């Protein structure tokens, strides 16, 4: 976490923000950084050249405000997602975190509650509290799965204004069935957000929550370009929902919130979607290789439909994390007892992690 100055408490900050710490992960210039679920494969040169050209073209009119409705980019996302979606059903922002923030600004806020099944993405509570709403944490089974009947019971008891379902889940990688999503939607009275930030890494035969959008005006499916598209530094997220829900987001977004350069870069990347996504299969191979090797070393890797693996059976997570750090490998301690999380990188990065872990793993 980033440090917060002690002098902060001397300022008239909102009472509900006192004592909070900002979101953050360790940043260190190590040879192998596998801690924040980035796509570590570089963008192919022909694609990056096209993106640079698109940005250069956009710079010619950078003295003017960008298209406030980012029409061309929304059309690109609709084409990419398919399922008969149109641009009227698409929204985008500076990373999926801003997209989620827009949703909570519009549908949460003071006096309202936001519900999610913990452990889950740590930004959900921060975004919730940042908009003045209350975060309510539900529970998962011991293996981090969620059963439909249990999910419905918990949502019924909490009666939240917004439900956020991370599918597949971060930081555990756990799949979430359409049955659970549909059951939660049927029992909810408010907005149901399905965060599919890692969906491109799920098995190809599985169906996205996008298939549930028709006739469900309170359902939202959010995505990001940060992971599968290797676009984390560009900060582009997006969602699909009913056009009326999209209209609600216009009430809270800042004017011209997506710069002309961001729109140009993202549109160019979408034109090369097959090439940009070519690394996904290789990442899945490395993810599964990590899981198999972790099991062979005596750890317990959890099922993952993402580009990372959470594993338990770590006797001293802090010491193991430090030992890997000292060997030039950065992974993530997400605060779950006896567990650590590692991103699936390139073949070389994966080998470096596995070799380093093997060197610090006690004989069993």
Match 């992690």 to its residue by tokens: 353
State percent of the chain over pLDDT 70.
Answer: 97
For residue 1, the model assigns a pLDDT of: 45
* Contacts (Cβ under 8 Å, ≥6 apart) of 73: 92, 258, 263, 266, 267, 270
**Mean local confidence (pLDDT), 81-85:** 97
User: What's the CATH code, domain 45-275?
Assistant: 3.40.640.10
CATH second-level architecture of 6-43+277-360?
Answer: Alpha-Beta Complex (3.90)
Read off the pLDDT of residues 251-287 as tens digits, 9 standing for 90 and up.
Answer: 999 999 999 999 999 999 999 999 989 899 999 999 9
Neighbours of 279 (CB within 10 A): 20
Which candidate, 159, 158, 165, 200, places its Cα nearest to that of 182?
A: 165
Task: Find out whether 40 and 349 touch, Cβ atoms under 8 Å.
Answer: yes
Sequence spans of domains, the chain: 6-43+277-360, 45-275
Q: Could you tell me whether strands 191-195 and 162-166 are parallel, antiparallel, or unpaired per DSSP bridges?
A: parallel
In terms of pLDDT, which residue wins out, 277 or 20?
277
- Burial-class residue 349 by CB neighbours within 10 Å (0-12, 13-18, 19+): buried
């Amino acid at each position: 976490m980033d440090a917060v100055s002690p002098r902060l408490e001397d300022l008239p900050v909102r009472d509900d923000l006192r004592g909070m710490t900002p979101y953050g992960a360790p940043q260190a210039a190590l040879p192998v950084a596998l801690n924040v679920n980035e796509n570590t494969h570089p963008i192919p040169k022909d694609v990056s050249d096209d993106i640079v050209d698109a940005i250069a073209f956009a710079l010619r009119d950078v003295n003017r405000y960008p298209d406030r409705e980012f029409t061309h980019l929304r059309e690109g996302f609709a084409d990419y997602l398919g399922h008969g979606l149109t641009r009227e059903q698409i929204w985008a922002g500076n990373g999926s975190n801003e997209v989620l923030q827009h949703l909570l600004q519009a549908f949460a806020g003071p006096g309202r509650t936001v519900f999610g099944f913990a452990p889950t993405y740590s930004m959900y509570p921060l975004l919730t509290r940042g908009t003045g709403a209350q975060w309510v944490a539900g529970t998962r089974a011991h293996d981090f799965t969620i059963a439909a009947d249990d999910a419905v019971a918990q949502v019924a008891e909490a009666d939240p204004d917004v439900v956020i379902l991370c599918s597949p889940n971060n930081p555990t990688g756990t799949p979430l069935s359409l049955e659970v999503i549909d059951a939660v939607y049927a029992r909810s009275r408010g907005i149901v957000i399905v965060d599919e930030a890692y969906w491109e890494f799920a098995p190809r035969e599985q169906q996205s929550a996008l298939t549930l959008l028709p006739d469900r005006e309170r359902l939202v499916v959010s995505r990001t370009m940060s992971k599968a598209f290797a676009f984390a530094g560009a900060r582009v997220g997006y969602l699909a929902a009913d056009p009326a829900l999209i209209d609600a987001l216009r009430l809270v977004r800042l004017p011209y919130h997506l710069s002309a350069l961001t729109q140009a870069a993202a549109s160019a990347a979408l034109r090369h979607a097959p090439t940009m996504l070519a690394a996904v299969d290789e990442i899945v191979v490395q993810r599964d290789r990590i899981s198999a090797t972790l099991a062979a070393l005596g750890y317990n890797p959890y099922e993952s439909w993402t580009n990372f693996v959470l594993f338990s059976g770590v006797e001293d997570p802090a010491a193991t994390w430090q030992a890997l750090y000292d060997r030039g490998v950065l992974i993530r301690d997400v605060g779950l007892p006896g567990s650590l999380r590692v991103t699936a990188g390139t073949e070389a990065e994966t080998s470096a992690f596995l070799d380093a872990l093997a060197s610090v793993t006690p004989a069993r």
